[in-house]
């Protein structure tokens, strides 16, 4: 904490991991002798840079760019880029730190990193977004590479932004290094099922977790927060598996739709038209109502399963109490760290199945790993093959977390399971490398 003042999200993420890996440190004191905790919480490299660009009115704008190359013990740094006005060093470091253990859990050879900017794409024209992305990559290109650091998307960075970023990378370097970015378009090295992967993976994990209680997502009433990349495909998969998703949101408020969210309409509103979630309610008709963010909380909507898929710390203790009182059975994080520590402890104490994001949302980065494998082999797999591998990876992550929790005497504690399983693999590799 003293080393990182003014970084509350980063401190929160580190505290959660350090608290839960204590039993692993007791079993293997070499970790303490080699100062693994001190080293793992210190990024290998932190890059911050100026991003100047010109808006449509001809005015010069300046944003701040970040790339935190956190840990490369298991492979090249890997993690997304976030463009959002509240992005700062604390947020990028918390995301990069989480990414280390998440990537470890996938079983693929990927280290952890994260980046982004305090640029806000809302309300910007395509031309402005393009000029920003080109300026951002004009600095970033010298730090990344297919065996060094491989960025992808996150909040505010989707297919459009990855296209502009890859175009600029290719132009500057004169190399078609497809594997330098993931989340690419299908015509130029992207993988089928990458767009869907995080949301689908979160639901595969949820279903497997419910399976441990001889239950499933089929027939469940589900609430999903957010309406971006992760949320949309979580909604689609949950409904495909027989659930009814009755609510979703964006930063302006939430909609309740008792008939179940119409995914095609949601995609049209959010993906194609980039409009607000209230437009969904206006166009859906009588079954849907919109509540502005200052008039209520999405977590007041009764649900059997809650999937927070928007942003960090969006579900607090009061929200958790409301969900528990309304009978929630399972909570799985599609977003990174959406539940506050007080909230997830409340779920665990109430016997609600709870999956931390580093386990349940790992399907996105896992499928990025599959995209890199296809790029390296100059191959492209069918949707079914990639989705099948994603499903197998999510089941494996679930089972690893569950088995690790049991091994350490904490059955059903997916936080302990995910943190210890993710941590020990990275820590063992760091021991093998000596003091580097
Ligand atoms: P998108 O930008 O596609 O969507 C984000 C959604 O969350 C939007 O609906 C947005 O609303 C909403 N949102 C963002 N910030 C806030 C806020 N402060 N309050 C309320 N709502 C908010 O991002 P993704 O779907 O890609 O990412 C969502 C979460 O999932 C993030 O935590 C991300 O780190 C995590 N994640 C993403 C992965 C991926 O593959 N994309 C992989 C693993 C995790 P609005 O439209 O108003 O901005």
List the Cα angle 268/269/271 in 5-degree steps. 65
Chain segment 243-266, per-residue pLDDT in tens:
999 999 999 999 999 999 999 999
- What's the Rg (C-alpha) of the chain? 21
Q: What is the pLDDT of residue 290?
A: 98
Q: What is the pTM of this model?
A: 0.98
CA 153 to ligand 1: nearest atom = 41
| Chain position carrying tokens 């063992």 | 428
| Cα-based distances in Å from 320 to 301, 314, 315, 343, 359 | 12, 11, 7, 5, 20
Q: Which residue is associated with the tokens 């006005």?
A: 85
Active site residues: 114
Q: Which two tokens stand for residue 196?
A: 């869907």
Classified by CATH at the fold level, domain 196-355 comes out as Rossmann fold (3.40.50)
Distance CA 405, CA 80 (A): 28
419 contact partners, CB below 8 Å, separation of at least 6 = 16, 17, 20, 21, 101, 356, 358
Contact 417, 402 (CB under 8 A): yes
Spacing, Cα 312 to ligand 1 middle (Å): 9
Q: Of 289, 286, 205, whose CA–CA distance to 247 is shortest? A: 289
- Residues 334/307, Cβ–Cβ less than 8 Å: yes
Residue 422 and residue 229 in contact, taking contact as beta carbons nearer than 8 Å: no
Backbone angles phi, psi at 33, to 5 degrees: -60, -35
Closest Cα to atom 10 of ligand 1? 250
The two most distant CA atoms of the chain are separated, in Å, by 64
pLDDT at 40: 98
- Beta carbons of 230 and 198 less than 8 angstroms apart: yes
Residue with tokens 């060093």: 89
Return the ligand 1 atom nearest residue 230 CA. 25
Pocket of ligand 1 (CB under 6 A): 153-156, 158, 198, 226-231, 250-252, 309-311, 314, 334-336, 361, 364
| CA atoms within a 13 Å half-sphere pointing along the CA-CB vector of 332 | 32
Averages of pLDDT over runs of 10 residues in the chain (436 residues) are: 92 97 97 97 98 98 98 98 98 98 98 98 96 98 98 98 98 98 98 98 98 98 98 98 98 98 98 97 97 98 98 98 98 98 98 98 98 97 98 98 98 98 98 96
| Residue 81, both tokens | 């880029």
Task: Ligand 1, residue 293: give the atom nearest the CA.
Answer: 20
Within this chain, domains 8-177 and 196-355 share the same CATH topology: yes
Q: Which residues does 5 contact at the CB level (< 8 Å), separation at least 6?
A: none
- Per-domain boundaries in the chain: 8-177, 196-355
Residues 214 and 203 sit within 8 Å (Cβ to Cβ): no
Give the C-alpha separation, 426 to 423, whole Å: 5
Beta carbons of 113 and 70 less than 8 angstroms apart: yes
What is the Cβ-side half-sphere exposure of residue 425, based on CA atoms within 13 angstroms?
25
Cβ contacts of 28-32, under 8 Å, gap ≥ 24: 28/424, 30/431, 31/427, 31/431
- pLDDT score of 410: 97
CA of 310 to the centre of ligand 1 (A): 4
Question: Would you identify the CATH topology of the domain 8-177?
Answer: Rossmann fold (3.40.50)
Using alpha carbons, select from 366, 377, 414, 401 the residue that is nearest to residue 196. 366
Alpha carbons 416 and 374: distance in angstroms, whole number = 33
285 phi-psi bin (left φ>0, alpha ψ -120 to 50, beta other): left
């Amino acid at each position: 904490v003293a080393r990182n003042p003014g970084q509350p999200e980063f401190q929160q993420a580190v505290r959660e991991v350090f608290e839960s890996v204590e039993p692993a440190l007791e079993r293997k004191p070499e970790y303490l002798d080699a100062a693994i905790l001190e080293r793992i919480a210190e990024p290998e490299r932190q890059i911050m840079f100026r991003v100047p660009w010109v808006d449509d009115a001809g005015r010069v704008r300046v944003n701040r760019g970040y790339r935190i190359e956190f840990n490369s013990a298991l492979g090249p740094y890997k993690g997304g880029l976030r463009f959002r006005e509240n992005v700062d060093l604390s947020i990028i470091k918390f995301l990069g730190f989480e990414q280390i253990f998440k990537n470890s859990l996938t079983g693929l050879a990927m280290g952890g990193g994260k980046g982004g900017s305090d640029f806000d794409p809302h309300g910007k024209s395509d031309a402005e977004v393009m000029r920003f992305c080109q300026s951002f990559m004009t600095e970033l290109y010298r730090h990344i590479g297919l065996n060094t650091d491989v960025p992808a998307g996150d909040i505010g960075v989707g297919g459009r932004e990855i296209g502009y970023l890859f175009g600029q990378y290719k132009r500057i370097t004169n190399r078609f290094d497809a594997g330098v970015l993931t989340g690419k378009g299908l015509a130029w090295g992207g993988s089928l099922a990458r767009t869907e992967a995080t949301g689908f993976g979160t639901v595969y994990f949820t279903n497997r977790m419910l399976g441990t209680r001889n239950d499933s997502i089929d027939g469940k009433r589900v609430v999903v927060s957010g309406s971006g990349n992760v949320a949309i495909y979580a909604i689609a998969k949950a409904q495909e598996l027989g659930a009814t998703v009755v609510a979703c949101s964006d930063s302006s408020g939430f909609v309740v739709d008792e008939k179940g969210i119409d995914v095609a309409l949601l995609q049209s509103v959010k993906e194609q038209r980039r409009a607000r979630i209230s437009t969904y309610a206006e166009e859906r008709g009588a079954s849907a109502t919109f509540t502005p963010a200052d008039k209520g909380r999405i977590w007041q909507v009764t649900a059997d399963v809650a999937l927070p898929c928007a942003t960090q710390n969006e579900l607090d203790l009061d929200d958790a109490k409301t969900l528990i009182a309304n009978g929630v059975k399972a909570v799985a994080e599609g977003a990174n760290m959406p539940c506050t520590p007080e909230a997830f402890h409340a779920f665990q104490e109430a016997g609600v199945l709870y999956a931390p994001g580093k386990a349940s949302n790992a399907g996105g980065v896992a499928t990025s790993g599959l995209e890199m494998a296809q790029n390296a082999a100059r191959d492209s797999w069918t949707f079914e093959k990639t989705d099948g591998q994603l499903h197998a990876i999510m089941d494996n992550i679930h089972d690893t977390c569950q088995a690790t929790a049991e091994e350490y005497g904490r059955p059903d504690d997916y936080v302990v399971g995910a943190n210890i399983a993710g941590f020990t693999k990275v820590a063992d590799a760091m021991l093998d490398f000596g003091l580097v």
